Amino acid sequence: MARRQPRLTKRARKAQASPSLEAGDRLRELASRHGMPNAKLHVGAIPGMPKMSDVIADWAAPLLEPLEDAPLSSFRNALSLAALIWNAATTPERTAAEVAAELVETIRGATGAVPDELGPIVEDLVASRRRDFAQDRRVVMAAEAHDHGDDRRINVVSAFTEPARASSS
Domain ranges of the chain: 50-159
Across 16-25, 125-134, 154-163, least confident range: 16-25
Give the span between the Cα atoms of 130 and 132, in whole angstroms.
Answer: 6
Radius of gyration of the CA atoms of the chain, in A: 19
- Please name every residue paired with 148 in a beta bridge, in sequence order, or none if there are none: 151
The angle formed by the CA atoms of residues 45, 25 and 73, to the nearest 5 degrees, is 85
- Per-residue confidence (pLDDT) for residue 161, from 0 to 100: 75
4: part of which helix (H) or strand (E)?
A: none
Nearest to 33 by CA among 151, 160, 155, 147: 155
157: part of which helix (H) or strand (E)?
A: strand 151-160
Nearest to 159 by CA among 127, 135, 137: 137
- Per-residue confidence (pLDDT) for residue 164, from 0 to 100: 47
pLDDT digits (tens, 9 = 90+) for 66-111: 998 899 999 999 999 999 999 999 888 899 999 999 999 998 888 8
Determine the 3-state secondary structure of 160 from DSSP.
strand
DSSP conformational letter for 68: T
Give residues with Cβ within 8 angstroms of 30, minimum separation 6: 142, 144, 155, 157
Give the span between the Cα atoms of 113 and 120, in whole angstroms.
Answer: 16
Contact (CB, 8 A) for 96 and 89 = yes
pLDDT at residue 20 tops 50: no
